[in-house]
């Protein structure tokens, strides 16, 4: 018998969400990072630095983490989870040429890659598009061979 069978409910109390990684029961990004590091989900010692070591909004960091984990709800994911009907096209909303997946939308789509190319040209950086958002993040972390003042 599994652990769920041992759960005892209380009909007199209202249900509520509780984040067990926090002593207060409330979710925070810092508690999530600590949990990831402690549970060895993080595969590289630089992984937390790639995502959480930047001075950016927590929403941006969370989006970045979800992108690297391939967990953004793009059409391909939504159709496979039966949230969107299977009859709906799974092609990229911008180019209508490739399946809408995280790496395609953020790096490889002709629209997003043009934005990146224009930015890097402006910074005078010669850049080859990486194979994934994860590789792009590591390139970004190590400065792509330029000084931080350009950024």
Domain residue spans of the chain? 43-150
pTM of the model: 0.60
Q: What is the pLDDT of residues 11-29, one digit of tens each?
A: 777 777 777 777 777 877 7
Q: Helix and strand tally (H, E) in the chain?
A: 7, 0
pLDDT band at 148 (very low <50, low <70, confident <90, very high): very low
Average pLDDT for 131-140: 81
Instruction: State the pLDDT at residue 133.
Output: 86
Which pLDDT value is given to residue 138?
Answer: 76
pLDDT at 80 over 70: yes
Q: Give the mean model confidence (pLDDT) for residues 45-60.
A: 66
Complete DSSP assignment for 7-29: ----TTS------TTSSSS---H
């Amino acid at each position: 018998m599994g652990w769920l069978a041992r759960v005892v409910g209380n009909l007199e109390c209202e249900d509520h969400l509780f984040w067990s990684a926090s002593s207060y029961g409330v979710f925070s990004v810092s508690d999530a990072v600590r949990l990831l590091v402690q549970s060895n989900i993080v595969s590289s010692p630089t992984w937390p630095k790639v995502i959480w070591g930047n001075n950016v909004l927590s929403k941006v960091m969370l989006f970045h983490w979800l992108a690297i984990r391939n967990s953004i709800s793009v059409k391909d994911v939504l159709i496979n989870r039966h949230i969107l009907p299977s009859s709906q096209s799974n092609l990229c909303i911008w180019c209508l040429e490739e399946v809408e997946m995280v790496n395609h939308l953020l790096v490889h789509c002709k629209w997003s890659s043009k934005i990146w190319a224009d930015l890097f040209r402006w910074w005078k950086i010669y850049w080859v598009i990486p194979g994934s958002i994860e590789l792009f993040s590591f390139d970004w972390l190590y400065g792509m061979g330029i000084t931080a003042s350009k950024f």
